[in-house]
Amino acid sequence: SKGTLLITGGAGYIGSHTVRHLLEQNERVVVLDNLVFGHREALPLDRVSFVEGDMADAALLEKVFSEHQPEAVLHFAAFAYVGESVTDPLKYYRNNLAAPLTLLEAMQRHGCKRFIFSSTCATYGDPVRIPIDETHPQAPVNPYGASKWMLERVLRDCGHAWGLKSVFLRYFNASGCHPSGEIGEDHNPETHLIPRILMAATGEIENITVFGTDYATPDGTCIRDYIHVCDLASAHALALSYLRKGGETVAVNLGTGRGFSVKEIITTAEEVTGKKIPVSFGPRRAGDPSELIAEPKLAKEIIQWEALHKDPREHIESAWKWMSGERHGRYSA
C-alpha cells in the first residue's frame, strides 16, 4: 500500500510540478519548504500538508517524521545557481550537502529507506564524450555540481550501512511549465535561458545576452539537452514505483538525447511569441561546457521513463503561456 511522501523543496519549480503529478496519481504528499526560493502559491494547499521550515531543523524533522511516517523522501530542496556556488561555496556545501544530513538522520531513526534525489548532469563536469551516459567520469567543475555528487556518495554509503535505497535523477536542462499555465518557473533572480528570452520578449528585460558565439558547435553557441519539467515530474513517480518494487540504488540521466543551440532556442522563441527578440552577443560564461546531451537509455531500461516532450518548441510554448498569463510568470508581485 502507498504511504505518505515527504517532498523537500516541493514549493519550488521542479518540486511543485512533481507534487501536482503525484497528486494526480493519488499519492499522499507532505511538502517541507523553507520558502527561500519556493512559493506557497505553487502548492494546492487544500490537497497537500505543507510544513514551512528547514530540513536542517532536527526538531522540526522529528515532528514531521513522527506525525506523517513518510514511506519515501523526494528531495528537491537545494540551491542551484552555479555562478554563486563558485563565489560562495560554503553556502552550497551547507545547504546542498550538510543540511540533508539532518533529513537523512531522521530517515534512519524512523526506518524510512527510500530516497529520490534531484541530482544533475553537472556531476559529470566538462564532458569527455557526447552523449553522456551514466558511466561517464564524474568530475564536477563547480561547487554546485560537487555538492550534488558528494550527496550521491553519502546516499550510497547510507545504503551500505542501513539499507537506504536511492534513485539519483541526473537532470539535464529543466525547462517549460505546466500546460495549464497555473504553475511555472519563477526564480529570483532568473538566470535560465528560456525564461530570460521570454522576459526579453515581454520587455521585462532589455535584451537577452548570448553567452559566447565562438564555441566549436555548428552555429558557435552552446548546445543543451532541454528536458520538460513535466517529464521530470513523471520520472519521479516512476523512480518511486521502481523503489517500491524493491529496486536497488541507481543513477539515471534525465534528458531527451537531443541538443539545441542557444541560437536555435531564440529563433524558436521568436516563432512561438511572434515577437522579434532583442539579442546581444557577449563573452562566454565561466564554467559553461560547449555541449551537454544525455544518453537517456538507462532511464528507460531501469525506471521505464522516456521524455514525451522532446521538442523545445513545446517547452517554450508552455513557458510563454505561464509568462503571458494572469500571473505574468510570477507568483507574487
Taking the complex as a whole, the smallest distance from the CB of residue 171 to ligand UDP amounts, in Å, to 9
Taking the complex as a whole, the smallest distance from the CB of residue 286 to ligand UDP amounts, in Å, to 10
Of 174 and 250, which has the nearer Cβ to ligand UDP? 174
Task: Name the amino acid, one letter, at 34.
Answer: N
In this structure, the dihedral spanned by the alpha carbons of residues 301, 306, 310 and 316, taken in order and rounded to 10 degrees, is -130
Give yes or no for a contact between 233 and 21, defined as CB atoms under 8 angstroms apart.
yes
Taking the complex as a whole, the smallest distance from the CB of residue 281 to ligand UDP amounts, in Å, to 9
Binding positions for ligand UDP, rule: CB under 6 A: 82, 173, 191-193, 196, 208-211, 222, 224, 262, 285, 288
Task: Name the amino acid, one letter, at 69.
Answer: Q
Of 102 and 119, which has the nearer Cβ to ligand UDP? 119
Of 115 and 226, which has the nearer Cβ to ligand UDP? 226
Give yes or no for a contact between 96 and 8, defined as CB atoms under 8 angstroms apart.
no
Q: Give me the residue label for grid cell 529507506.
A: 113
Helix (H) or strand (E) holding 52: strand 49-52
Active-site hit among 93, 124, 144, 171: 144
Of 27 and 291, which has the nearer Cβ to ligand UDP? 291
C-alpha cell at position 197? 528570452
According to DSSP, residue 153 is labeled H
Taking the complex as a whole, the smallest distance from the CB of residue 131 to ligand UDP amounts, in Å, to 15
Of 208 and 230, which has the nearer Cβ to ligand UDP? 208
Q: Give, in degrees to the nearest 5, the angle at Cα 151 between 188 and 100.
A: 65
User: How far is Cα 181 from Cα 167, in angstroms, rounded to an integer?
Assistant: 29
Taking the complex as a whole, the smallest distance from the CB of residue 200 to ligand UDP amounts, in Å, to 9
Contacts of 236 (CB under 8 A, 6+ apart): 18, 21, 22, 74, 116, 169
User: How far is Cα 292 from Cα 290, in angstroms, rounded to an integer?
Assistant: 7
| Residue 144 annotated among the catalytic residues of the structure | yes
User: How far is Cα 55 from Cα 95, in angstroms, rounded to an integer?
Assistant: 9
User: How far is Cα 40 from Cα 203, in angstroms, rounded to an integer?
Assistant: 27
Q: Which residue is nearest to ligand UDP (CB)?
A: 222
Catalytic residues: 144
